[in-house]
Amino acid sequence: MEQMEILDGKIELPKGFVASGVFAGIKRSKKDLALIYSERLANISAVFTTNRVKAAPVILDMERAKKGKAQAIVINSGNANACTGEKGIEDAKSMAKKVAEVLEIEEEDVLVCSTGVIGVPLPMEKVLKGIEVAALSLSKEGGYDAAHAIMTTDTFLKAVTVKFNVEGKDITMTGFAKGSGMIHPNMATMLSFVLTDASVEKATLDKAFKNTVNRTYNMISVDGDMSTNDTAIVMANGMAENKAIQEGTYEFDLFYKALEYVNKTLARLIAKDGEGATKLIEVNVINAKTENDARLAAKAIVNSNLVKTAIFGEDANWGRILAAVGYSGADFDVDKVDIYLKSAKGEVKVCENGSFFAFDESLAKEVLKEKEIFIIVDMKAGEFMATSWGCDLSYDYVKINGSYRT
């Protein structure tokens, strides 16, 4: 990452972008409405939930995103505007219309995102007034307010900024996201927004973004539940004035690395902030026959409730890991699989060739006491690998979700 300046936890809006986050009254007290605006119409790419039950804003955005252009995004939290019938669609359109009016842009160039409780109509009078306030509050420093306004059960802000140079032009890329519960590929229950002033050809941006989404957001899991509102959007407004980046160039490779780093960082933070989580789990499946085999195995492990509870209990129950690989659909030889557990306290092999291995139980216990746990599965079958991220499953997850509406 030598060619990039990385600002983890920071939001530095790229050239031509402003944002805001305000309290509209959807929630009881915290900020609940965010607005992102680009001075110039931007190329975009977007990925949405694969749940057949889709929220109204997702339905609206899926159609609008087809043209690959947008200039503003309005986001509310506290209410998902999902399972709200035709009224929900009308409300999402009304949000976009209000944004277009106050910013004096085309309504079709406004995207809408919502997150929160399902099956409750939006309090539109409050929402529309909130949009007016948000428009008046737009600023270069408003990224932090916007990032806070999209949070629901999140316990911390998820953000990152990277900077790099393309042919003498300084490029900034910043991303922020929300996500804590109902996290399961594809995609995780989340909202993610990546903004850049780079000039990137529309088709190139679309391919790069969707490829990185598959390697990042689609490789995280908290609880196996898929949301109705999942949305990830990238906006590239070209205001850095670089020559449009095309695939197959050095500039594209640099842009792709930056985009993947931003999405990977946000995905990892979402997994870390899983509801009730006490530990971040990173699964690395290595030496698989194909990348697909590695991805299948890694996703199965990180999504296994039995693996999650074992990590929470600091129990080196490697049989649960191997069982998850077994039902993952990956092609592998069980008699070749080795499994390791690793953390800041060290590394311990717990399974060799798919069978019992006399490992040091006390060392394994020490390894599992840490807050970040790495599970390494060596398939010894090829040269491909994949990484997934998740968290443990604790008593607090039940507490949080048992009273989510209250």
Question: Can you give the pLDDT at residue 182?
Answer: 47
Q: Print burial letters for 106-140: b (CB count within 10 Å at least 16), e (below 16).
A: eeebbbbbbbbebebebbeebbbbbbeebbebbee
Rounded to the nearest 10°, the torsion over CA 147, 148, 154, 159 is: 30
pLDDT at 53 over 70: yes
Any known ligand binding at 152? Answer: yes
Cα 220 to Cα 308: distance, rounded to the nearest angstrom: 13
Helices in 81-184 by DSSP H: which ranges? 85-103, 124-136, 143-149
pLDDT band at residue 404, thresholds of 50, 70 and 90? low
pLDDT at 183 over 50: no
User: pLDDT tens-digit profile of 298-347?
Assistant: 999 998 989 999 999 999 999 999 999 999 999 999 999 999 999 999 99
User: pLDDT tens-digit profile of 267-285?
Assistant: 999 888 866 678 999 999 9
Cα 402 to Cα 406: distance, rounded to the nearest angstrom: 9
Question: Residues 6 or more apart from 187 whose CB is under 8 A from it?
Answer: 47, 48, 49, 50, 213, 217, 218, 230, 232
CATH class of segment(s) 280-402: alpha beta
Q: Is 189 a catalytic residue?
A: yes
Cα 226 to Cα 213: distance, rounded to the nearest angstrom: 16
Cα 375 to Cα 306: distance, rounded to the nearest angstrom: 14
- Chain Cα centroid distance, residue 24: 25
Which of 50-54, 365-369, 381-385 shows the lowest per-residue confidence on average (mean pLDDT)?
A: 50-54
Strands 346-351 and 338-343: antiparallel
Any known ligand binding at 189? Answer: yes
Query: Matching CATH topology for 5-272 and 280-402?
Result: no
pLDDT band at residue 18, thresholds of 50, 70 and 90? very high
Which of 46-55, 185-194, 208-217 shows the lowest per-residue confidence on average (mean pLDDT)?
A: 185-194
Catalytic hit among 49, 174, 189, 231: 189
* Tally: H helices and E strands in the chain: 11, 15
- Provide mean pLDDT across the span 248-277: 91
Question: Can you give the pLDDT at residue 275?
Answer: 65
Residue 80 · residue 116 · CB < 8 Å: yes
Residue 19 · residue 13 · CB < 8 Å: yes
- Provide mean pLDDT across the span 99-109: 98
For 85, other C-beta atoms within 10 Å of its C-beta total: 9
pLDDT at 172 over 90: yes
pLDDT at 229 over 80: yes
For 6, other C-beta atoms within 10 Å of its C-beta total: 15
Cα 113 to Cα 136: distance, rounded to the nearest angstrom: 20
Instruction: Enter the DSSP assignment of 225.
Output: P
Cα 100 to Cα 225: distance, rounded to the nearest angstrom: 34
Q: 191 forms bridges with which residues in the sheet?
A: 178, 231
For 93, other C-beta atoms within 10 Å of its C-beta total: 16
Instruction: Enter the DSSP assignment of 381.
Output: S
Question: Can you give the pLDDT at residue 392?
Answer: 87
CATH (residue range 5-272): 3.60.70.12
Domain spans, the chain = 5-272, 280-402
State the chain's mean pLDDT as an integer.
92
Q: Report which of residues 390 and 223 the model is more confident about.
A: 390
User: Which 3 state secondary structure label does DSSP give 150?
Assistant: coil
Q: 34 forms bridges with which residues in the sheet?
A: 21, 75
Cα 275 to Cα 398: distance, rounded to the nearest angstrom: 9
